[in-house]
Amino acid sequence: MWFGILELVFFYGIAIGVAFWQWAKMRREVREMRADREAREAAEAEAKNNEETRSS
Rounded CA separation 21/47 (Å): 39
DSSP code per residue over the chain: -HHHHHHHHHHHHHHHHHHHHHHHHHHHHHHHHHHHHHHHHHHHHHHHHHHHHHH-
The predicted pLDDT at position 8 comes to 95
> For 45-54, what is the mean pLDDT?
86
User: What's the pLDDT score for residue 51?
Assistant: 82
Is it the case that residue 52 has pLDDT exceeding 90? no
Q: Tens of pLDDT along 5-45?
A: 999 999 999 999 999 999 999 999 999 999 999 999 999 99
**pLDDT at residue 50 tops 70:** yes
d(CA 10, CA 24): 21
Distance, in Å, from the CA atom of 34 to the CA atom of 32, rounded to the nearest integer, reads 5
